[in-house]
Structure 1
């Protein structure tokens, strides 16, 4: 017997599978289908969960009567707001009184009268001034008594202050001081 020995390297080749690429393609398609189906199932589960939460919240809102209190309470809130506005109007009504009184006095003041002081305290108005003619004081008082916002006009004093030289002809005229206390009509 003879023994032969082969010293050449032997290449072992594997048999190529002809169905290999097809099998890999089918596995990818089936894997993708299963992945999409799994993702669809998860999303469907989450959507159902959110829908349940929404229906519970809607039921809670429908069952709560607290939300309807706002609508029934609007009438009382409106009445409260109107009452508050009327109180604010009453508080602010007297703030314009001194300005209105000064405007009325200015309209009633004759031309020769110069006012020197004006004081307003709690509905009592005290004005002082001077004039060259005593008759203008009485005219001023008459005009003030015709004004509607003045209730009572008291002439506190009228004094002859001094004699003044008016021009170069040495004509002397008297200067009269006067003070009125006027009660205001409250608005």
Structure 2
């Protein structure tokens, strides 16, 4: 088995929802609604941004967003934007960080739920304070209710679990 390459995945949430409705009605969806960009294509993405193939809306990639992608692409965790929170998924933890609050560590976030874990940050991030600040700033730079931005890191031994059967059947590499 070859090692997965880290990638940035971008998509329009509204068009993704439309494709899911098409899938439900027709039993198939004609096209995937996300586009992946390996690290070598980040330069192109920084210049041209991302344009949704369906609706034509454009996501401008800010310097902070590109810094976050570059910093976290090969880290131990997948990073996924959601409308109100950022999902961080590593082999050691799975947490949603609210966008409306900046955290310097994951420990206080877990403590809010009555869970006390020491040393977790170092298992999830290479530079926890800097990485959490980058995530907070980058997620504030775009409309997370409009756009999906995901960092699927090769540093996490498992691919991000996608819930879209279409993605699995077309995009996965058979072994």
* TM-score normalized with structure 1 length: 0.20
As a proportion of its length, which structure holds more strand? Answer: 1
* TM-score normalized with structure 2 length: 0.21
Rg (Cα) greater in structure = 1
